[in-house]
Structure formats: structure tokens, C-alpha cells
Structure 1
Amino acid sequence: MATNSSPALGSPEPITPHGASPSQAALQKKLNPVLILLLVVAIAVALTYLLDSGAYQREGKSILPDSYHVIDKSRSPLQLLGVGEVAKGQAQPVSLIDAVVSIPEALEKSAGLIFMVLFIGGMFGVLTRIGAVETGLERMLSLTRGNVYVLVPTMMIIFSFGSTFMGMAKEYLLLIPMVIAMMQRMGLSSLIGLAIVAIPVKMGYLSSITNPYALSVAQPLVGVPVFSGIGMRIFVYAVLMVVGIAFMLWTIHRAEKDTSVTAQWNSAPLPTRHLWVLITLGLGIAFLVYGSQTWHWEEEHLSAYYLTLAVAFAMLGGLSASDTADAFLEGMKKVLAAGVLIALATSVAIILKKGQILDSIVHSLVGLVGGDNPFLASVGMFFSQLLIDIAIPSTSGQAAVTMPILSPVGQLAGVDPHTTVLAFLLGNGLTNMITPTSSGLLIFLATAQVGWGQWARFILPLCLIVALLSMGFLAISLAVYG
């Protein structure tokens, strides 16, 4: 592996794929994620006019099967301006005014998540100013001589354990800038650094061997124990990880062809201040995992934790109060766009709910499932979950909405409950790898400063491979569980 420079962590320069041509870079600038999400918001508004409004009856968060009913709707053109009259109990489309108002409403609703992302950016701004991460990475790379064919599979397997066993996702935000810095030090792009973290996390969620966020909701709703069917999920995990690692190594191999200079790693001892900062960082990540799983920290707790870590790093790194504040604010600026993206993604769900078409979308997509052929029914479940996830990107939320409906539908078609849950896991996980309405994906992209269009083009081939594999997994599951 080769390089002759060491890009700074969190560099504000535009990020393009390794070896991208000027025309490709120009195309990436046109695919601004804000514009993409504004288009999605506009489509959501249009759907509130085009689709019938309807609702399921609910018990708590769970939907009652066969309870869907259409709600009478006024489709007067005046509704677009928000001035039409609506009878009591009648649904109405979302007006342009409501569509605009949904964005600040979404900002308020997602405030905890947005501030968490900003505080992560601030914390890494402090780490960048200190320089400890960069020097630490140089020493780490000197031990392996920059052999990514050892580093990458090892890191990906470790990252996948947290997501597939414990449902970890946002906890990895701390690691993204560090892995990106490592890849940049080796002459590779930030996109590759992001993928080394994001792909195993997403593959872990796709298989969810013991992921409590997915299984504790989905499995009981179809009438099976929370962790039953684990053998099939282990098989799915193993296959997906082999494919994910192979995809990354193939990508890195292609990128290496553009690298021609010789790597020179600094193997001198770490400065004492940097050593203490890195030790604190390692302990901080370990305690973050423990605290998140033990005390179920929400975004507000995580934001406070990142702020505390930033102060600790500044003290150990010898930064003055003024330098610390400047570095923290500079780091926040680099991820500020994430707040807008998260708000726009959340506003889509608000619009669908205001127009009372979310349940209608679910009801229509469930219609993809049917017939007497169990395999076709399971594939129909998979594709319906793929599409439902665009509107409901939350894993537990999607399980609560869809499992009570799909479980009886699947049983009528001869689909075992474990296969129904597997179709949910695969559909939900696959869409969350690429959909611009997933706040989880957006904060990963914002932390890495990678555009959604750039990520979508990169990950699409892997998504298509996983989609084909998923249909194979469903066929095997049907054979195993009968």
C-alpha cells in the first residue's frame, strides 16, 4: 500500500472517490442530499393527494390485522393552499404550508439526535487539534506495514459483532473518523473508510443473530420465542460477512491500482500526551458500549458523554480553553448539514402521518404477499418490507407495524413465522443501507462527510447482490422450518 501524505482527520475538502474524474466530481456536486430529500418530501406531499387515506386499529403500538378501513378524504384544490373546509372525521391532503412547517417540526422532534451528531463533530474537532489520533494511526500502521488485507477483515468482523449481537449502530460514530483517517493515511478514500464501518454494521443488522432491538419486537408478534431460529441467522450472518468483506477487498484492490508511491510509516514512540489521549479514547469507547447497553442511554445522555470526553481530551492534550472552544465549534461546523438532512428525513414521516396515508401504504404493500406458493409469499414479504422501510426506517417501529399483519398472511400462504421474521430483517436491513430517509445512514454519511449520491452509487452493486442472496436465504429457511 502506498502514500506520500497524511490527510488531516475531518478535512473540510470535498470528498470524491479515489481516482474520480472531473465529470464524476461535478455529477456528485449536483446530487446534493438536501435536494434529494426535498424531492422525497415533495413526493410525500403528492402522495397525500393521490392515495386514499386509511387507518388500522391499534392496541398500543401493535396493529390489529384485518382492521384497515378507508377514511373519506376531501381532495379540493384549495387544500393545496390550506384553505379548504373539511368535514369532521374527514381526512385531508397535506398543504404546502403544512409541508414547510413539517421541517421545523421535524427539527424539534429530532433535536436529540441532531445535537448528538453536532457534539460528536465537536469532540473530533478537539481530537484533530490535538493530533493524537493521526500519530496513533501511524504507529498502528507501522506494525502491519499497511497491510489492509489483514486490517480490513479484522475490523469488519469486530464491528459486525456489536450490531448483530447487541444492535449497536450509533455507537460506531466514534470510530468512523478514525477509520477514515487510517484509510487516508494509506492513500485510500474517505468513502472506503466509511464503508469499512457501515457495511459490517448493516450486515449485522440484516442477520440480527441476537439483536434485541429487532428480535424482542418481531419474534413475539409472530408467536415464537425471542431468540429462536438462531441457527438460520448465524448462517445468514456468515454468508453476508464473507460477501461484504470480499466486496471491500475487491474495492480496495481496484483503488490500489491508482497508487504508485511508497509508504513510509513513522515508528517513533508516541508523545506522552498523545498516549494518554488515546488510552482515554479507548476506555471511553468501551464505557460507551457498556453504558448504552446497561443504562439504555438516549441521545441526550450520549451528547453529554461526548461533551465530557471532549473536555477530558483537551485537558490531557494540553489545549487551552480558547483553543478547545475553537476546535469544538470547528468540528461542529463540519457536520452541521447533518441536522438539515435528519430533519428532512423525519419530515417525510410527519407528512405521511398528517395525510393519514402511512397505513394505506402498508396495506397496499402487504398486498404483494399472497398466493398458495410459500416461496413467492416470502419473497413478497421481503419486497414489501423493502418498500415499507422507506416510510418507516426504524427497525423496531417497522416490526411493530408489519409483523401483526404479515404473520397471519404468511401462515395462510404456508410461510413459517421464523421465515416471516427473516423476510422482515432482510428487507429492513437492506433498505437501510441506501435509503435517504434513514436518519441512521444520514448521520453516518454526515460524520464521514460523504454525500448520499456518492454512497448510493458505491453501495448499489452490493445491495443487488444481497437482494439476490436474500431470496436464496428465504428458500433455505422455508426448507429448514417447513
Structure 2
Amino acid sequence: MKKITFPHPLIILVGFVLLSWVFTFLIPSGNYERKPDELTGREVVVKGSYELIEKPSVSFQEMLMAIPEGIILGGDIVVLILLIGGAFYVVEKTGALQAGVEALIFRFQKQQNLLLIFLSLGFSFAGATIAMQEEIIAMAPILIILAKNLRMDIRSIIGLTLGSSLAGAAFSPINPFNSLLGQQLAELDLSEGLIFRMIVFIIGIGLWTFLMIRNGKSKEPVTASIKFEPSPIGWRHSLILFLSLGGIIVMGWGITQHDWGYNEMSSLFFVIGISCGLIGKLGLNGTAKTYSEGFGEMIFAGVIVGLARSVYLVLEKGKIIDTVIYSLFTPLEGLPDLVAVNGLFLAQCLIHIPVPSTSGQNVLTIPLAVPLMDLLGISRQLAVLATQYAVSMMDMITPTNGGMMAVVAAAGVKFNDWIRFIIKSWLAVVGICLLSLIIALIWFH
């Protein structure tokens, strides 16, 4: 029997672009009125303002044009991927990464689970604070080395890094792109619900980490071959690793304290990449050549991110995004509280497929979800929690999330293999989300 080959990520996203174009003919066009919000400075949707509009015609050529347009719109992220990816590729070629990973494995060879727990906690904190996702794309070479040395399934290592970051963002009380923005849009105090959120954060991250470690262990018996003497780390390797780690810390500091964007992060790692190449004795020409080779390794990941934006562009051209939101939210108004809240979560999950932007979905849907909660006599906090959980959890599985698709592709993992590996764990954590919403109905009553 001939083995069925799962479509390449490029084919999947191009397929979504085509599907979104078909939907522009099938779904009525409509829009909500929007007005500036004094708290956030963003445009928000006015409740009750939805109306059908004349359907714009999206030609086949316009659909094709959306492909390069999406890549161009994602240009800042593509540049970030190339420059950070090139920098880590240089670091890898100096031998510092291999030496550092070997030293780490040797140090925790009898405490492998502890190492994996620290890895998950570190990335969950990064997700909770700066919503780290695209930045992980360039770390794919490190993840592969780590998986091989620990004899772990590479999908588990992705789960403990990218997955933990997204889970951290889902449960975080301080994520500026999700929870904090949602609190502002819902006109809630930013500290409201902090204790509840921290409790759920600990439970959610704890469960995710446990499942990823358990499911990722090698089925083969552990042998003494894992125990080895690591390569010696000289001052050059130590300095390179220090600069690499320092760059990640500085990047987090810049994002949280100085509102850094992609360009600031890109320039930081460009300097780090060149510096590490020179310190690693690659020479000027050798460093430049190695950096350019790193571009080649990362260019596909950058294109994937751009294509995910193309899907949204086509839907936007057809003016059907507001119709999708209206159709999903309106039926919730007449439902019991428990059903309505969980229905809101499911609706937000579906909305996140055509609207892959976290902050964009908050701005689109929170102003609509808040009046719904007011109408039902439910705390507005439920609208924020349902949106936050749905957006970040869907980021783990939806093909329109270019960041996730790029990380998986850069690590050499097929999308269907990634979904097959995480789906049971994902459903378990989604269960935590739904259970916490039920408890929140009582907690915030």
C-alpha cells in the first residue's frame, strides 16, 4: 500500500490562502463601526454596529498578489528571523553551542528531568512576559543538538520551548499582547484576578511540562553511553555563550522596559553574530560566509511567517472577518452562563484561525465580548480569560500561525507529526482552560 505523504508546510499555507479566497465568495461581507479607545489608543469595535455591505470582488490575481504582499508585510519578522538565525548559526559553527550543550548534559546527566523542567520554566516565563515565539525559530539548531544529546524526541523539546512559551502566554497575568491589553480593553484593573491567574498558570504549566517530558523520553533503555566527558570549554567558547545568553536577556529587557520592536532585536543579534564569529576565530570573511549560510537555513521559516499573513490579507480584502466574528458571537447571547462562557472560548478558538494576530484578535473581539458578559451578568474578566486561553492555545496547532509553523519546519519536523505528538497533551491543557473558566464564574461572581 502506497504511503500517503502529508503536504509540505508551503502547500498547507498556500492551500489556506486559496481556501480563504473561496470563502470571500461564500460568506457575506460586513463590517463593524470602529472608534478610537482612550485607554489603549487603538480602534475598537462598537457593539451593535455590524451591518452588511456590498461584497467587494476579490479577483484571482488579487489573491495571488496577497502572497507576496503578506511576505512584504511580515518583512520586519522575516529580517528578525534571518539576522537572529544567522547569528545562532555562526555561534553553532564556532563549536560553542555543542560544547555548552555537552557541558550542560554532563552537569545534569543524573538529573535530566530537572534540566527539562528548568528549560520549560524558562520558556514559559519568556512566553508570560514577552510572548516569545518567532524568536525561537532561530534556536532550532540548539534544540536539535539538545534533543540528540538527551536522547529525547525533538518534538518534545519543541514542546518544552515553543509549547511552554505559548502555554505561558495563555495563562500569564502579565502578557502585554494578550492579558494586559485585554484587561485594558475590558476596562479592568490590571491587577484584577492576579491570584487566580497565578494559580492556573502554575497548574497549566506544570501539567504541560509533565506531559512533554513523559511523552518525549526515548523508548530505548538508557545506557552508559550517555555518560561522557564533555569537550573542554575555553575562554572563547565561554565568551560566545555569555554573549548569546546575554543577548536573549537584553532582548527581553528591551521589549519589556523600552518597547523594542523587531528592528532593535535584529540589530542586537547582528552585532552579537559578527562578534561571536570573530571571537570564534572564523575571521572576517569566514564570519560573513557563515552568516550568509545561516540566512539560507532560515529563509524558508521567514517565508512561512509571511504566508500566514497572506491568509488574513485575502479575508480582509473580501471584508468577511467581521461577518465571521458576528456569526460566532451573536448565538451566545441567549445561552446559560456556563455554556456561554465555554462557547465564547470555542468561538475565540475558531476566530484565531483567520485572525492569527494576538493583539489584533483582542482589539477585534474584546469590545464585543464585554457587552455580552455584561448582558449575562458575568464578570468581564471571563471575556479576557476566554480570549487569552483560546488565542495562545490555538497558536500551538493552527497552520495560520507562521511562528509555530516556522519553528516546526526549522527543526525538521512535519506538521502532522507535531500535531500527532502534542494533541493529547494539548487537549488536556485545554481541559484546564475550560475548567478554570467554570471556576472563574464563581471566583469573580
Would the alpha carbon gap of residues 268 and 218 (structure 1) be closer, same or farther in structure 2, given more than 3 Å must change?
closer
AA aligned to 1:48 is: T
| SS class of match (2:52) | strand
1:208 corresponds in structure 2 to 172
The alignment status of 1:182 with 2:158, answered yes or no, reads no
Determine the structure 1 residue equivalent to 2:427: 464
* Structure 2 CA distance for aligned equivalents of residues 220 and 287 of structure 1: 27
Q: Which amino acid aligns with 2:168?
A: G
The residue aligned with 2:418 is 455
Q: Which amino acid aligns with 2:277?
A: A
User: What residue number does 1:242 align with?
Assistant: 206
Q: How far off its partner does 1:425 sit?
A: 0.9
Amino acid of the structure 1 residue aligned with 2:18: A
Distance in 2, matches of 1:282 and 1:356, equals 44
Distance 2:119 2:331 in 1: 39
SS, match of residue 226 in structure 2: coil
TM-score (normalizing by structure 1): 0.86
For 2:392, which of 422, 429, 432 is the aligned residue?
429
Any residues of structure 2 matched to 1:160-175 within 5 Å, and which? 160-173=124-137, 175=139
Residues in 2 aligned to 1:368 and 1:468: alpha-carbon distance in whole angstroms: 23
2:286 counterpart (310, 316, 323) = 323
Q: Is the 8 A contact 1:215 1:227 kept in 2?
A: no
Confirm or deny that 1:384 pairs with 2:347: yes
Select 1:354's aligned residue among 281, 299, 317. Answer: 317
> Structure 1 272/221 Cα, relative in aligned 2: closer, same or farther at 3 Å?
closer
Q: CA deviation at 1:446?
A: 4.1
Distance 1:220 1:115 in 2: 31
Q: Distance in 2 between matches of 1:96 and 1:392?
A: 21
1:212 alignment partner, SS class? coil
Post-superposition shift, 1:166?
A: 4.3
- Corresponding pairs, count: 439
- 1:169 and 1:107 map into 2 onto residues whose CA distance is 18
Contact 2:348/2:391 (<8 A) preserved = yes
> Which of residues 358, 362, 366 is equivalent to 1:395?
358
Shift of residue 41, structure 1, vs aligned partner: 1.0
Query: What amino acid sits opposite 2:26 in the alignment?
Result: L
Tell whether 2:252 aligns with 1:289.
yes
The structure number with the bigger radius of gyration is 1
Once residues 118 and 127 of structure 2 are traced to their aligned partners in structure 1, the CA distance between those partners, rounded to angstroms, is 15
Q: 1:467 to 1:45 in 2, by over 3 A?
A: same
1:416 maps to 379
Q: Is the 8 A contact 1:176 1:197 kept in 2?
A: no
Counterparts in 2 of 1:334-373, with a 5 A limit? 334-373=297-336
Give the Å deviation of 1:315: 1.1
For 2:235 and 2:176, locate their aligned partners in 1 and report how far apart those are by CA, in whole Å.
41
Deviations 1:190-240 (A, max 9, x none): 322222101210111111221122133211222211231112211211111
Residues 128-176 of structure 1, C-alpha deviations (whole Å, 9 max, x = no match): 2211110111112111225321111122112212222444444445555
What is residue 70 of structure 1 aligned with on the other side? 52
Q: Give me the whole-angstrom Cα distance separating, in 1, the residues matched to 2:444 and 2:213.
A: 35
Q: 1:330 Cα deviation (Å)? A: 1.7
Partner of 2:79: 115
**CA–CA distance in 2 between the matches of 1:100 and 1:146?**
54
1:351–1:267 CA distance, 2 compared to 1 (3 A): closer
Q: CA deviation at 1:259?
A: 5.7
Identity of aligned residues (%): 26
1:49 aligns with 2:31: no
3-state secondary structure, aligned to 1:335: helix
Equivalent pair of 1:171/1:289 in contact (CA under 8 Å): no
Q: 2:143–2:158: 8 Å Cα contact kept in structure 1?
A: yes
CA displacement, residues 335-360 of structure 1 (integer Å, 9 cap, x when unaligned): 22113212221111100110010111
- Distance change (3 Å), C-alpha of 1:170 and 1:276: same
Distance 1:99 1:258 in 2: 52
Q: CA deviation at 1:280?
A: 1.8
SS of the aligned residue for 1:392 comes to coil
Q: Which residue of 1 aligns with 2:39?
A: none
| TM alignment of 1:133-152, pairs within 5 A | 133-145=97-109, 147-152=111-116
Q: 1:121 to 1:449 in 2, by over 3 A?
A: farther
- Find the aligned partners of 1:37 and 1:258 in 2 and give their Cα distance: 39
CA distance in 1, matches of 2:400, 2:251: 26
C-alpha deviation, 1:268, in angstroms: 5.3
Q: Residue in 2 aligned with 1:40?
A: 16
Residue type at the aligned position of 1:47: F
Amino acid at match of 1:130: T
Contact 1:164 1:210 in 2 (8 A): yes
Q: 1:342 to 1:162 in 2, by over 3 A?
A: closer
Q: Distance in 2 between matches of 1:62 and 1:458?
A: 38
Alpha-carbon contact 1:123-1:306 (below 8 Å) kept: yes
- Identify the residue that residue 157 of structure 2 maps to in structure 1: 193
The one-letter amino acid paired with 2:60 is L
Q: Which residue of 2 aligns with 1:441?
A: 404
SS in 2 for 1:262: helix
Contact 1:169 1:201 in 2 (8 A): yes
CA root-mean-square deviation: 2.0
Cα gap change, 1:268/1:335 in structure 2, threshold over 3 Å: closer, same or farther? closer
Query: What secondary structure, in the 3-state scheme, does the structure 2 residue paired with 1:114 have?
Result: helix
SS of structure 2 residue aligned to 1:237? helix
Deviations 1:377-432 (A, max 9, x none): 10111001001111112211111110111111122123211111111111111111
Q: Which 4+ runs in 1 deviate beyond 3 A? A: 165-177, 258-261
CA distance in 2 between partners of 1:53 and 1:360 (Å): 6
TM-score norm. by structure 2 comes to 0.93
8 A contact 1:368–1:381 mirrored in 2: no
Q: CA deviation at 1:437?
A: 0.7
Structure 2 vs 1, CA of residues 215 and 268 (structure 1 numbering), >3 Å: closer, same or farther?
closer
Write the deviation string for residues 432-458 of structure 1: whole angstroms up to 9, x where unpaired.
111111123233324433332222222
Structure 2 equivalent of residue 82 of structure 1 = none
Kept in 2, the 8 Å contact 1:180–1:189? The answer is no
User: In the alignment, does 2:35 pair up with 1:59?
Assistant: yes
Aligned to 2:40: none
Q: 1:263 to 1:245 in 2, by over 3 A?
A: same
